[in-house]
Amino acid sequence: MDKRKHRKISRRSLLGGILGATVLPVSKVLAKRLPMLDPGDPTKTPGRGPSKLGQRSKFEHPIKSPSDISSRTPLQDLYSTITPSDLHYERHHAGIPDIDPEKYELLIHGMVARPMKFTLADLKSFPAVTRTCFIECAGNFRTGKEEMTPQDILGLTSQSEWTGVLLSTVFREVGASHEAKWFLAEGSDAAVMTRTIPMWKAWDDAMIVYAQNGEAIRPEQGYPARLLLPGFEGNMNIKWLRRIEIGDEPWMTREETSKYTYPVNDKIRMFSFEMDARSIITYPCYPNKIKTGWIEIRGLAWSGRGKITKVEVSTDAGQTWNEASLQGPILSKAHTYFRYLWGWNGTPTEILSRATDETGYMQPTLQQLTTARGTKTGGYHMNPITSWQIKPDGTLLFKPE
Ligand SMILES: Nc1nc2c(c(=O)[nH]1)N[C@H]1C(S)=C(S)[C@@H](COP(=O)(O)O)O[C@H]1N2
Ligand SMILES: [Mo]
């Protein structure tokens, strides 16, 4: 490379180039005066200055694929377990209310010694706790056609690092009765979402969270504060939380009786509160195309009942299973990343993953699920093993069953 040509690129020659542009086309001026300078080369010209707010590379375009009622996390675009806050899935029944944090109040009453109202500042003044876990909609699972991405199939799950106060701390403050068996949580959006939650969850790991991934929780996720019930179905994690009533019987709210768990009598209870263990391969998947050679199969596994202990991958349509490596630290009730190195020889096949959690539960096949549930499958808590077909030319397609 000719060094003298480089030395010619001074501030003056740059300005000359710009001024010259008024009489000559820029390209001509640059070609004449700055033969080594490509104005489009970002490694040779100064870039943008610092900004008030960072942004993604203009070459990256992850989107949440919104519908009228929800938006889904692009699982195939994520490299690990945390969902960037602006990619957290959304499900709301009456839109997103803009709640003024100064006016925010949470009422706690019912079977308590001291009914109380808490401002956001009050909630923040309690000792804080931070934990990483997923939230997953009970209706998370779609199938039906081959051209489906992980986002289309299973995008109603996301993971954040949440910060807030343990519900048990606040319940001690109001003197919640130890006789109480249930509490009602109510949101302040126009949907007035209410769910009955067992008291043991409050004494265990339930939280009221006001921060998500290190900053104030997003409006979509319940700003300024939501209930977080690690491992429990998304619907019970009431957003824009405004009222908690403590009692000894379930309320049997509309959501409970029309859709989800009817929690009184085990005989008519359809689903558990917890989300069962499941997994999905997020690479390779539709619409990827692979070449023969080494492929690192990657994906996510999680369980609402504790830690993931094992993820197995099959590369022969489910005939044999091999243990994938799990990325640590493995957290309880949290998305867990798995990886499995595999050499593809060009033969068409199917790749699958199945998760096992610390209770010993193993993710079932769709056949096992429907057999176990009889006709009462409904659209909720469906966690079957899913499969990607690999075609002779290396294209991938979902295998709807
Ligand atoms: N107040 C309120 N809470 C709510 C809802 C709602 O519509 N209003 N939707 C529920 C449902 S069905 C789910 S799956 C989760 C979704 O949480 P996210 O939007 O933060 O992902 O919030 C739950 N909590
Ligand atoms: Mo949901």
Structure-block tokens of residue 255: 């959501």
The ligand that comes nearest to the alpha carbon of residue 194 is: 1
Say yes or no: 116 and 231 in one domain. Answer: yes
Mean pLDDT rounded to a whole number for the chain? 90
The ligand that comes nearest to the alpha carbon of residue 72 is: 1
Which atom of ligand 1 is closest in space to residue 240's alpha carbon? 1
With the C-alpha atoms ordered 382, 383, 384, 390, is the resulting torsion angle positive or negative?
positive
Q: Which of 234, 251, 268 finishes a domain? A: 251
Q: Residue 320 to residues 7, 172, 297, 353, 360: CA-CA distances in angstroms? A: 64, 51, 16, 11, 19
Write the pLDDT tens digit of every residue in 284-294. 999 999 999 99
Say yes or no: 220 and 286 in one domain. Answer: no
Answer yes or no: is pLDDT of 259 > 50: yes
Q: Which of 236, 251, 266 finishes a domain? A: 251
Say yes or no: 246 and 288 in one domain. Answer: no
Say yes or no: 214 and 331 in one domain. Answer: no
Say yes or no: 247 and 284 in one domain. Answer: no
Report CA(70)–ligand 2 centroid distance (Å): 9
Say yes or no: 70 and 206 in one domain. Answer: yes
301 within a domain of the structure (yes/no): yes
43 within a domain of the structure (yes/no): no
Answer yes or no: is pLDDT of 304 > 60: yes
Say yes or no: 195 and 74 in one domain. Answer: yes
Q: Which of 133, 237, 244 to mutate to test the pocket of ligand 1 (most atoms within 8 A of CB)?
A: 237
Say yes or no: 220 and 85 in one domain. Answer: yes
CATH code: domain of residue 375: 2.60.40.650
Host domain of residue 337: 278-398
What average pLDDT does range 191-198 have in this prediction? 92
16 within a domain of the structure (yes/no): no
311 within a domain of the structure (yes/no): yes
103 within a domain of the structure (yes/no): yes
What average pLDDT does range 205-210 have in this prediction? 99
Say yes or no: 239 and 282 in one domain. Answer: no
Give the count of domains, the chain.
2
CATH code: domain of residue 204: 3.90.420.10
Answer yes or no: is pLDDT of 245 > 50: yes
CA angle 275/150/235 to nearest 5° reads: 30
Say yes or no: 247 and 323 in one domain. Answer: no
The ligand that comes nearest to the alpha carbon of residue 241 is: 1
Say yes or no: 247 and 180 in one domain. Answer: yes
238 within a domain of the structure (yes/no): yes
What average pLDDT does range 248-275 have in this prediction? 71
- Quote the pTM value: 0.89
Report CA(261)–ligand 1 centroid distance (Å): 16
262 within a domain of the structure (yes/no): no
Write the pLDDT tens digit of every residue in 319-355. 999 999 999 999 999 999 999 999 999 999 999 999 9
Say yes or no: 77 and 213 in one domain. Answer: yes
Which residue's CA lies nearest to atom 10 of ligand 1? 235
